[in-house]
Chain A
Amino acid sequence: MKQWPALLTGLIFGMGLALSGMTDTAKVQGFLDITGAWVPDLMFVMGGALIVTLGATPLVLSRAKPLFADMFSLPASKAIDGRLIGGGVLFGIGWGLWGYCPGPAIAALAYGYESTLIFCVAMIAGMWIAGVLGLVKSRVDG
């Protein structure tokens, strides 16, 4: 399998996060602060991204297979269960408390701030802990 598209798409994704302002924790927390001085930027970022994915995903998935791989690897689960909701609650709290979700946190490692590195290490540790605690049903890409 050719791997270089992963590097290229990662690069574009990281540039998009940085240009959009999502690597600024104040803007992310400002978006979530709906009763305070609301910062709508994240809504425009999500909107821009969703215009592309909503429009193009059906076209891509209508093909027999990806350009450089044998098949599409899509999440199989459709269950809206306690794991999905409980995980979403824990993630959302952490996201609000600090202002980073995983993508911006990793892209912001480029800035060299100590706190971002600490956040990312704790995040990976948390992923490991979830497995140890038996919170993960099965391996799902996402």
Chain B
Amino acid sequence: MEAYIFPVAGGLMIGLASIGLLAALGRIAGISGIAWGVISGPDRDWRLLFIIGLVAGGALAHTLTGRPIPDAPDAPLWLAVVSGLLVGIGTRTGSGCTSGHGVCGIGRLSLRSVAATCTFMAAGVVAVFIVRHIIGGGA
């Protein structure tokens, strides 16, 4: 179980941050919505501050703990473009992502968010299965 101390601790921090944002500003910590709100407005200020914090937190976590930074994804850059486009189109069409639906939405017992989370988890499983076990030959 020792291997899962960091995943659990990180998860608790994610939950704490989500509750903190709700309690302080009354907002849902849905990252896709916050990111798009920085571009489109309105209320850009708090959203931009949250995104700045998100990136700073990504750096600070490794500085404080000495945990190694993950390797860069080992995949062609065109796949980053295709995947990014799909994530962007999908999260805006479906009104949320892993944080907004998965953590905050399920956290407030929204059936809509449960349905969304089951859907994107299942689609992710199918995508990985096709890439790794059908195209990739089990690599």
For the complex, what is the distance from the CA of A79 to the CA of B92, rounded to whole Å?
Answer: 15
Chain A residues, Cβ within 8 Å of B106:
50, 53-54
Binary contact readout B40-73 vs A (1 if CB under 8 angstroms, 0 otherwise): 0000011101111111111111101101011111
Chain A residues, Cβ within 8 Å of B95:
75, 77, 83-84, 87, 140, 142
Chain B residues, Cβ within 8 Å of A50:
11, 15, 103, 106-107
Q: A18-B61, A21-B10 are in contact. Are A125 and B85 (CB under 8 A)?
A: yes
Chain A residues, Cβ within 8 Å of B35:
102, 106, 123-124, 127
Q: Are A1 and B46 in contact (CB under 8 A)?
A: yes
For the complex, what is the distance from the CA of A25 to the CA of B75, rounded to whole Å?
Answer: 10
Chain B residues, Cβ within 8 Å of A124:
35-36, 39, 88
For the complex, what is the distance from the CA of A70 to the CA of B25, rounded to whole Å?
Answer: 8
Please indicate which of the listed interface residues A21, A60, A121, A141 has the most CB atoms of chain B within 10 Å of its own CB: A141
Please indicate which of the listed interface residues A32, A47, A116, A131 has the most CB atoms of chain B within 10 Å of its own CB: A32
Binary contact readout A59-90 vs B (1 if CB under 8 angstroms, 0 otherwise): 01101011111111111011110011111111
What are 13 sample pairs from A and B whose C-beta atoms fall under 8 A apart?
A: A6-B27, A16-B13, A79-B112, A80-B111, A85-B119, A87-B95, A88-B119, A88-B123, A93-B123, A94-B84, A101-B32, A110-B56, A128-B39
